[in-house]
Amino acid sequence: MSDNIVVSVCVITYKHSRYIRDCLEGIFNQRTTFEFEVIVGNDSSPDETARILNSYKDSVKRSYTPINRPSNIGGKRNFVDVVARAKGEYIAICDGDDYWIDPLKLQKQYDALQRHPNVDLCFHPAKVIGNEKFHSVRNNLSAVEMIYSLNQVIEGGGAFMPTASLLIRKSSICPFPSWFVDKAPAGDTFIQVLGSIRGGALFLPDVMSAYTRFSVGSATASNLQHFSFEKIKTQAKNYRYCYLKLAERLDHNSGIICRAAMSKLLFDLSVKALDASNPN
């Protein structure tokens, strides 16, 4: 096995025993001309996730590092730690309840970024799988390959790119800013913007991953279960802080668009806070 790792696949998982095999199989089935490693951060899941992760240790023929944490540290800290261990020039992200459906996904994205050396981030559409097995496609933005500008990424928000679709040049996001590590309520928006600062974001039209909507352990399901006024208030405060810090890294026009996106998000959170404080 070569130590010349080009891509580090970073998997974040918590209570994903129902899904983690599909996630890992989709990763291990990738066919590439380069070496890639797989690092999985299991945030002290109380289910069978750790056992399933360990069962792959002897059968995988590439660099594979399952991290089974003794205590829960939270999704973002888990992500930051896993990415910090990555050796590759590029980072591919896949949550434990998502999976890849194209064995050439990594190769296609890597080749695309090689054709566009000034771009640091590549993404694509994803199939959505709901509780009733209803399938749709999200983020099907174009029928052809194209580059979205930084400002378009900012305006798109965190839902602009499916998490499991991301391939990012590590140097564009690392080292992570202290405000991201300390305060960001969620990482999607900020990772996408940071990765798009230099040259925008490259979109490929191929549907190459699947997203499990409202899965057990997902952020969406968690938010639905713990929807309180105080939590929303804290989120709003931290989002505002992070957006303002992000805007400081951008040029004047992008900074204005960043602050406008912040205002829209804060308005949406205010509406949710009012709903949470008046359940009837």
What single-letter DSSP state applies at residue 266? H
The predicted pLDDT at position 133 comes to 55
Angle at Cα 181 formed by Cα 232 and Cα 119, nearest 5°?
105
The predicted pLDDT at position 63 comes to 96
The predicted pLDDT at position 226 comes to 58
The predicted pLDDT at position 279 comes to 62
Residues 6+ positions from 121 with CB-CB distance below 8 Å: 166, 167, 168, 169, 172, 192, 195, 196, 201, 202
The predicted pLDDT at position 131 comes to 63
The predicted pLDDT at position 214 comes to 59
> What token pair was written down for 147?
């580059």
Distance CA 72, CA 68 (A): 10
The predicted pLDDT at position 32 comes to 98
The pLDDT averaged over each successive group of 10 residues in the chain (280 residues) is: 86 96 98 98 97 96 96 95 98 97 99 98 93 74 96 94 97 97 92 98 97 60 61 92 98 97 93 74
pTM of the model: 0.91
For tokens 């006024």, the residue is 229
The predicted pLDDT at position 137 comes to 87
* Alpha-carbon separation of residue 248 from 37, 244, 280 (angstroms): 34, 7, 41
